[in-house]
Amino acid sequence: MYKNKSNKLNNLLKNSLIKLPTPININLFWNLGSMLGLCLMIQIISGLFLAFRYTPDIILAFSSINNIMNEAWYGFLFRNIHANGASMFFCLYIHVGRGIYFKSFLFKNTWNMGVIMLLLIMGTAFMGYVLPWGQMSFWGSTVITNLISSIPYLGNYLVQWIWGGFSVNNPTLTRFFCIHFIMPFLILFLTIIHLFFLHMTGSNNPLGINSNVYKISFNPFFSMKDLMGFLFLFIILIYIVSFKPYLLGDSDNFILANPLITPEHIQPEWYFLFAYAILRSIPSKLGGVIALLMSILILFFLPLLNLSKMKSNQFYPLSKVFFWLLILTIILLTWIGMRPVEEPYILIGQILSIMYFFIFMINPLFQKLFDKIIW
């Protein structure tokens, strides 16, 4: 009986991992999923070693980071890998972009699970940014958590509950550390569910057609491509960690958090800047929070907004223009997020924010119109 169960498990692993039927025409953009899995494992392992020496206390947190960097055996390496690995992790934006372009959102269960994971990863990254307890960590957490106070009636109570007091203080840091430590394991669990849904439906492909006739075994053809992707990721990460470890960070975070001195420009990490720019562009605080949330939550509605017959944007010439216009808009919003809150950056940010949501709404209508003309 035990032998039969073992054989069934081995067959399941072979069919789902080694001999998984995979569309023959998928390109390098389909390697990003496995690269993100590798990034997750790098973050979990490096974070575990950092947690051995980190102290979640507002008096000791900053000095514990210095201790890791200067006293712990290869502590600087683990810390730089973890900090820059977070930036590498957000190549998941390219993963999402590929899903939008090739309409992977038509596989609703896989897509929705992926969006949930994106939200959790963003939340985990935000809490991790607070832990060094530098100036930008403190003031960034103060500004972002204060946004919850815009919720009618309950806002102020929720903010104080999250803070554990009347300001960002020791209870806040402690609970952020606990959540930041636990969340990657939840994300790992959701990744398994994400893969389960993916293997149920099979991978999408650039043509968006049923490719059951044109599938080959995942191993060795695509596993070798994944290994090349891993090598590429390691080369970039090792280069940044070795030669430019603070390229993607903020210099203000090398200063101990001081509630009495506000930095000249408060801004989050680069991977949040586009959403931060949308938040700043709305004059109303509550409206800004709603726009901030919708900048990500709109991904949930893509399956509902799809009105076209074709299962890939590449068959619609205007949709390709809209897609690259969306990419340009996100890049410009990221740039606006780094600029001071003054003209002309305020006006440019408002125009770009409108464009961001407008593209998501107008693209399905043009595809529907194109279908009517062609078909």
Looking at the fold, whether 240 and 280 belong to one and the same domain comes out as no
Looking at the fold, whether 239 and 279 belong to one and the same domain comes out as no
**Which entry of 104, 137, 141, 203 is annotated as an active-site residue?**
203
pLDDT digits (tens, 9 = 90+) for 197-249: 888 887 888 877 776 667 777 777 778 888 888 999 999 999 999 999 998 88
**Which entry of 108, 225, 285, 311 is annotated as an active-site residue?**
225
Q: What is the pLDDT of residue 76?
A: 93
CATH number, residue 223 = 1.20.810.10
203 among known catalytic residues:
yes
Structural domain contains residue 146: yes
Structural domain contains residue 148: yes
226 among known catalytic residues:
yes
| Last residue of one domain, picked from the residues 222, 242, 259 | 259
311 among known catalytic residues:
no
Structural domain contains residue 96: no
Q: Which residues contact 319 (CB under 8 A, 6 or more apart)?
A: 313, 363, 366, 367
pLDDT digits (tens, 9 = 90+) for 14-37: 555 566 777 787 888 888 888 999
Structural domain contains residue 333: yes
Looking at the fold, whether 191 and 236 belong to one and the same domain comes out as yes
Structural domain contains residue 125: yes
Secondary structure (DSSP) of 165-204:
SSSS-HHHHHHHHHHHHHHHHHHHHHHHHHHHHHHHH---
**Percent of the chain at pLDDT exceeding 90:** 48
**Which entry of 108, 199, 215, 285 is annotated as an active-site residue?**
199
| Last residue of one domain, picked from the residues 230, 259, 288 | 259
Looking at the fold, whether 53 and 186 belong to one and the same domain comes out as yes
Looking at the fold, whether 51 and 70 belong to one and the same domain comes out as yes
Long-range CB contact pairs, 141-145, < 8 A, 24+: 141/168, 141/172, 141/176, 142/167, 142/168, 143/266, 144/268, 145/172
Looking at the fold, whether 142 and 188 belong to one and the same domain comes out as yes
Q: Which residues contact 109 (CB under 8 A, 6 or more apart)?
A: 197, 200, 201
Q: Which residues contact 16 (CB under 8 A, 6 or more apart)?
A: 199
Look up the domain containing 328 and give its range: 267-374
Q: What is the 3-state secondary structure (H, E, C) of 244-312?
A: CCCCCCCHHHHCECCCCCCCCCCCCCHHHHHHHHHHHHCCCHHHHHHHHHHHHHHHHHHHHHCCCCCCC
With beta carbons less than 8 A apart as the criterion, state whether 254 and 53 touch.
no
Q: What is the pTM of this model?
A: 0.91
Looking at the fold, whether 84 and 205 belong to one and the same domain comes out as yes
CATH number, residue 340 = 1.10.287
Q: Which residues are annotated as a binding site?
A: 82, 95, 180, 194, 199
Looking at the fold, whether 301 and 189 belong to one and the same domain comes out as no
With beta carbons less than 8 A apart as the criterion, state whether 166 and 156 touch.
no
Structural domain contains residue 11: no
Give dist(CA 39, CA 4) in Å, integer: 35
**Which entry of 64, 269, 295, 353 is annotated as an active-site residue?**
269
Q: Which residues are annotated as a binding site for heme b?
A: 82, 95, 180, 194
Average pLDDT over residues 157-167: 90
pLDDT digits (tens, 9 = 90+) for 37-58: 999 999 999 999 999 999 999 9
- pLDDT value at 10 more than 80: no
Looking at the fold, whether 235 and 314 belong to one and the same domain comes out as no
Structural domain contains residue 9: no
Residue type, 340: P
Q: What is the pLDDT of residue 356?
A: 94
Task: Domain count for the chain, please give it.
Answer: 2
| Last residue of one domain, picked from the residues 259, 287, 310 | 259
Looking at the fold, whether 244 and 279 belong to one and the same domain comes out as no
pLDDT digits (tens, 9 = 90+) for 75-121: 999 999 999 999 999 889 999 999 999 888 988 999 999 999 999 99
Q: What is the pLDDT of residue 371?
A: 76
Q: Which residues are annotated as a binding site for a ubiquinone?
A: 199
**Which entry of 46, 64, 226, 250 is annotated as an active-site residue?**
226
Q: What angle do CA 3, 6, 10 make, to 5 degrees?
A: 140
Structural domain contains residue 7: no
Q: What is the pLDDT of residue 12?
A: 52
Looking at the fold, whether 79 and 134 belong to one and the same domain comes out as yes
Looking at the fold, whether 162 and 240 belong to one and the same domain comes out as yes
Strands (E), the chain: 21-23, 215-217
71 among known catalytic residues:
no
Q: Which two tokens stand for residue 204?
A: 């999408």
32 φ, ψ to 5°?
A: -65, -30
